[in-house]
Amino acid sequence: MNTRNPHREQQLEHLTHEALRQLPQCSAPASLQARVLSEIEHRAALQARGAGISRWPVAVRALLIAVCTLSVPLLWMLIARVRGHMSQALAGSGVAQLVHGVSSTSHTVLSLGELAARLAHLIPKEWLLGGLFIVGAVYAVLLALGYLLFHPTLANSKAHTV
């Protein structure tokens, strides 16, 4: 059974509205607008940073895909070439016989140590230094790219209070 009285509800609404109208106006602090706008900008920057590669320009994304696609066959050829050189070097040094001659667990540890020592003598110093240089250069480039990509957004990500 519905006992609602529309006239009484309108009267209650009118009384509530009049009571609220008679209350004094509350004013917001003067700095509220600046803090609200700053928080809106901060949240927009967080959303833009979280979007990732989807926010990059189309040309840059296409270039990245092309570079990644072209690097796969180049890397495949490089691995095949290094494997060929290593197999030739290992075949002439007796390391292959050492690896196949391991028969028990106790000999495995000693054989692996001997294998590491022989491989260390087989690797040309130029390869070792070149590899270290390449790894260092790639590391430095990645650090620089990370700094350049994320530095502008990190400067604006101060903690905001509203």
**pLDDT digits (tens), the chain, 162 positions:** 456 788 889 999 999 999 988 888 877 787 888 888 889 888 887 776 666 677 778 888 888 888 888 888 888 888 878 777 777 766 666 655 555 554 455 566 667 778 777 777 787 888 878 888 898 898 888 888 877 777 665 555 554 444
pLDDT value, residue 161: 46
Q: Which amino acid is at 101?
A: G
d(CA 40, CA 47): 11
- Predicted pLDDT of residue 11: 92
What pLDDT is stored for residue 6 in this prediction?
81
**CA count, 13 A, side-chain hemisphere, 117:** 7
pLDDT at 13 (0 to 100) = 92
Return the pLDDT at 14.
Answer: 92
Question: What pLDDT was estimated at residue 2?
Answer: 57
Share in percent of the chain as helix, strand, coil (round to 5): 80, 0, 20
55, two tokens: 């926010």
Across the chain, how many H-helices and E-strands are there? 6, 0
